[in-house]
Amino acid sequence: MKDLILITSYCNTPEKENTLRKLVSNIKKEKEFFDLMVVSHLPIPIDISQKTDFCLYDKKNEILLDWNMRSTPWFNPGDERPILSCFTGFFNIHLAIWRMLILGNSIAKNCGYKKVHHLEYDCEICDFSELKENSDLLNDFDAVTYNKKEQTVDPILFGTYQSYNIDGLHQDLLNLNEDKIKKEIFDSEHKSAEKMFYDLLNHRNNVFVKNKSLLDLNGNKFGLSHNELSNRNTAWCLPYYDELTEKLGFVVWNSEQIEKDISVKIIYNDNQIIDFGIVKPKHWLLRDIDDYVNAKKLIVLLNDNVRDVFDFEKNNEEFKKVSYRQKEKR
């Protein structure tokens, strides 16, 4: 039986739709090796669906906005004390993506497929040799995944593409249980969809890990929307509570893939403007703002646009739990 390519998509602009259209057309040329399924939170245009073997429109697209449900990445400036914050983003699409993935996996299993290559829609694939190599690896491994960086400590799963054996999948990736997923996100310290996904794929300690750079060879491009997001937003531009000093601090780290200068200002308690000036690519800065007990309100201006507004009088204790610098060195 052929392998199945499973594409999860949410193409809410003509540009994204055309990216999906081109990807599907290129996969169609490889029909000798792959069947194709597209699962989408938006209706799939007829010219795209006609080139697939399966199409599933899933209307539900639940976005998690609660602070306690957002991913909490960390940054360790100066290798001293890490800062963890849920405010690097504005919501969590973990549940929405996993819903599409699990529905697709369950259909694949019921149709008898053994090997699945999961792609998010934002790819351009001209050369399918990497997918074919991974198909061979699945004869010995449960899954093949990619790390964003060449590192052995806290590797970051590249979420745009993975290959896996259906028979080796954890049941949580086959049977949809949204309440369980939400509880696991809430209970997780990091709330990272990528780490939780990798842990499930590796539940039998049998995953082959590669570096993401291999995907971008021979004209291929994976994770195109990641570049788009970094062009519009700087993740690490946020306030935090310092557990050691009990002060309100602020961190800026210009680490995005698209390198450009950024300007950052904050308006504190409606009467104090602090201008951090221009922060160049790959540079970061930290500054204490005030004792936290004095904090009432903070407005963040990124490139003269309002990035976020914080009401400390309303969310005083809650803020300290979701955006903080640890008391001790990690």
If you write DSSP's letter for every residue of 265-304 in order, what string do you get? EEEETTTEEEEEEEE-TT-EEEEEEEEGGG--EEEEEETT
**pLDDT tens digits, one per residue of 280-297:** 999 999 999 999 999 999
Q: Do 9 and 108 contact (CB within 8 A), yes or no?
A: no
pLDDT of residue 153: 42
d(CA 65, CA 88): 13
Give me the domains of the chain, ranges plus CATH numbers. 3-68+91-227 (3.90.550), 233-325 (2.60.40)
Q: pLDDT-based confidence at 146, cuts 50/70/90?
A: very high
Whole-number Cα distances in Å, 159 to 136, 144, 192, 218: 21, 12, 11, 20
pLDDT of residue 143: 97
Average pLDDT over residues 20-34: 97
Q: pLDDT-based confidence at 161, cuts 50/70/90?
A: very high
Three-class DSSP category at 110: helix
Would you give the DSSP letter of residue 174?
T
Q: Do 157 and 146 contact (CB within 8 A), yes or no?
A: yes
d(CA 76, CA 153): 14
Residue 257 has pLDDT above 80, yes or no: no
Q: Do 211 and 48 contact (CB within 8 A), yes or no?
A: no
pLDDT of residue 8: 97
For helices 178-187 and 94-110, the axis angle rounded to 10 degrees is 140
Angle (nearest 5°) at CA 264 between 258 and 267: 150
pTM (2 d.p.): 0.82
pLDDT of residue 285: 94
Give the pairing of strands 3-9 and 34-40: parallel
pLDDT of residue 13: 92
